Amino acid sequence: MPDEPIIQRNVMMPLRDGVRLATDLYFPPDWSDAGEPVPVILARTPYNKNAQAEMAIGAARRGYIFASQDVRGRYESEGEFYPFAHEGPDGYDAVEWLAEQPWCNGKIGTIGQSYCAAVQNALASLNPPHLSAMVVAYGPSSYYHHALRHNGVLEMRFFVYAFTMASTSREALADPVLKAALEDAYANVRSWMRHYPVQPGESPLALVPSYEQWLLDIQRNAAYSDYWRQPGWGPLPWYDQHADVPTLYVGGWYDSYTRATCQNFVELSRRQQQPVHLLMGPWHHGGAGVGRTGDATYEGGDLDDYLGMRLSFFDRHLRGDESADFGQRKPVRYFIMGGGEGPVAGSRDIARGGEWRECDTWPPEGSTPTAFYLHADGGLSTNAPEAESAATSWSFDPADPVPTIGGNLSALGVDPGAYDQRNDERFPFTEGTLPLSARRDVLCFQTEPLEEDVAIAGPIEVVLHVSTDAPDTDFTAKLLDVHPPSESYPAGLALNLSDSIMRLRFRESFEREVLAEPGEVYELRFELYPTANRFVAGHRIRLDISSSNFPRFELNPNTGGPLGAERRVRVAENTVHHDAARPSRVMLSVLR
């Protein structure tokens, strides 16, 4: 057909170590070797390059050459797959090989989300000369600090990821018996999660050694070390030498990389001469452009043409078309959630509403860090506590964790997004329908019904004064927008906005582990994921404190034993102090 791209399949691109990567090249429909060279858009993936055909065809019809590539050790590419390890140098070589081809004009753009964003960050950290523009969606800044591990805690989505990737490995695709064993393991991954950590040789992952080794490594490399400073683990240690090219960072308030996306924008816009843009919508991981997350809908929160918007960015920065409109006039475009009609009668749906805003910086101008203090009566207010002694204690039993209900999730087999925080058969490890606030190990601190709207946009920090009788334990925090009773939610609605966790042994530094002294009070500071939300009048702002959020985060055995290898568990008696001398609080970025 006249508008179909010209495709060259499985071009084997050589790397510096002799490994070859399978690459499909999509040329514009009217392409001729005698024509002028054009820019190339590169997408590198571990999920089968054929799955990128729609994006590749759209770019080729726009006049670009699109290179879709299987990363090392996946599908048609040679070599051994060990996630993230080779993506910096391999990506660098891919950019430079493409730039040398006679049909390329020397300008290379990169595109992709999730792992396909991480590979962009990795190659940009090594600053290849011909990298010219990037569109990075849902990508990391540091897989250690808030993605794969999170303030010292493993995000269990990557435990699941090891099983997922093993079941689609090149080894499994070549051996039906091996594939059956690995698919069975993945089908039972929730049972494997309850028996975490995996020990060497005790799971079917041992049938594909590089995949098993990767899981063992991320389980056991609990401190921030040189292992986590490789380019593939995110650009945080590489910001000062990162490529200075026009970049669009795309993220969502319920994405698993929300904090990373904002951090990359902030840090690189400080350093770069070329323009850096940030687009944050009311989206979950992989849901860019769709105005729904979980049970919540956002009128106006969708995008009519997500691919077209990204290609317009390349039109401007690869072709130099100053008239190209990719949808934002200022560096930051973000969607502030809230202000809609609320729960929809006869449905679980919550019409949250919201609006798009633009600004020059993140957080937005006029955003002010404001302390909301925890009080002994369960209150949360801007008034500091006056009590001389006040504390709340609970028992944290790893055998009975607080279940994950939505949130900033991906690749976990648990639905992401906004949900009423109660037990729900849609989520694993839940029982019945009671709200999570009914649990003895969940502490709730909330404001009185708001007399006027309170809007927030920016980072969120929790400061807790804590003690425990265990050598080590975890503390979690979750920010919620509490709606009053309605026809669909007669008991009210506690909607999750953001969460996080902190492991006590890393309170002094992520680079070394220091066990706790029983009964001693420590100050913990840690960030939740940033968000933008309008708490409307009549709603309440709530902060929930506990010690688990499973299966989003791995469970602390509370023994102080070696992380990722410990076989024992114990109950920890944990305490949050909230008196005049030890004012525990959450810092919200309030828009004035």
| DSSP state letters, 420-434 | BSB--TTSTT--SS-
What distance in Å separates the CA atoms of residue 515 and residue 559, rounded to the nearest whole number? 10
Residue 588 CB-density burial (10 A; 0-12 exposed, 13-18 middle, 19+ buried): buried
Contact 340, 351 (CB under 8 A): yes
pLDDT tens track for 445-457: 999 999 999 999 9
Q: Identify whether 246 is preceded by a cis peptide bond (ω within 30 of 0).
A: no
35: confidence class by pLDDT, cuts 50, 70, 90: confident
What distance in Å separates the CA atoms of residue 426 and residue 406, rounded to the nearest whole number? 10
pLDDT tens track for 134-157: 999 999 999 999 999 999 999 999
Report residue 574: phi and psi, to 5°. Answer: -110, 150
The CATH code of the domain at 6-141+234-330 is 3.40.50.1820
Q: How far is CA 380 from CA 7, 8, 300, 326, 557, in A?
A: 60, 61, 32, 41, 30
| Mean pLDDT (the chain, rounded) | 97
Contact 552, 404 (CB under 8 A): yes
Joined tokens for residue 227? 């292992």
pLDDT at 120 exceeding the cut of 90: yes
Q: Give which of 108, 583, 202, 176 is closest to 391, Cα–Cα.
A: 583
Question: Could you tell me which residues come within 8 angstroms of residue 417 by beta carbon, excluding any fewer than 6 positions away?
Answer: 254, 284, 292, 293, 294, 295, 296, 406, 407
Q: Give which of 143, 158, 8 is closest to 87, Cα–Cα.
A: 143
Angle between helices 87-99 and 115-125 (to 10 degrees): 80
Q: What angle do CA 25, 28, 31 make, to 5 degrees?
A: 100
What distance in Å separates the CA atoms of residue 88 and residue 272, rounded to the nearest whole number? 20
Joined tokens for residue 364? 């937005």
Report residue 313: phi and psi, to 5°. Answer: -60, -45
Mean pLDDT along residues 220-242: 97
Mean pLDDT along residues 178-185: 97
pLDDT tens track for 461-470: 999 999 999 9
H or E stretch covering 41: strand 38-45
Contact 531, 498 (CB under 8 A): yes
DSSP letters spanning 469-501: SSSS-EEEEEEEEEEPP-SS-TT-EEEEEEEEE
pLDDT tens track for 49-86: 999 999 999 999 999 999 999 999 999 999 999 999 99
Give the end-to-end CA distance of the chain in Å, rounded to a whole number.
57
pLDDT tens track for 322-369: 999 999 999 999 999 999 999 999 999 999 999 999 999 999 999 999
**Residue positions counted in the chain:** 592
pTM: 0.97
383 CB neighbour count, 10 Å cutoff: 11
pLDDT on residue 79: 98
Q: Give which of 309, 308, 287 is closest to 296, Cα–Cα.
A: 287
H or E stretch covering 144: helix 143-146
H or E stretch covering 125: helix 115-125
Contact 518, 461 (CB under 8 A): no
pLDDT tens track for 290-312: 889 999 999 999 998 999 999 99
What distance in Å separates the CA atoms of residue 533 and residue 442, rounded to the nearest whole number? 23
Angle between helices 209-220 and 157-167 (to 10 degrees): 170
pLDDT tens track for 258-297: 999 999 999 999 999 999 999 999 999 988 888 899 999 9
pLDDT on residue 564: 96
240 CB neighbour count, 10 Å cutoff: 7
What distance in Å separates the CA atoms of residue 111 and residue 248, rounded to the nearest whole number? 10
Angle between helices 53-61 and 306-318 (to 10 degrees): 50
pLDDT on residue 109: 98
Joined tokens for residue 321? 């078309």
pLDDT at 2 exceeding the cut of 80: no
Contact 407, 496 (CB under 8 A): yes
pLDDT on residue 1: 52
pLDDT on residue 287: 85
pLDDT on residue 289: 80
Residue ranges of domains in the chain: 6-141+234-330, 149-223, 367-591
Residue 258 CB-density burial (10 A; 0-12 exposed, 13-18 middle, 19+ buried): buried
3-state DSSP assignment of residue 356: strand
Beta strands 540-546 and 38-45: pairing type?
unpaired
Place of tokens 């979980």: 294
Classify domain 367-591 by CATH architecture. Answer: Sandwich (2.60)
Residue 274 CB-density burial (10 A; 0-12 exposed, 13-18 middle, 19+ buried): middle
**pLDDT > 90: percent of the chain:** 97
529 CB neighbour count, 10 Å cutoff: 26
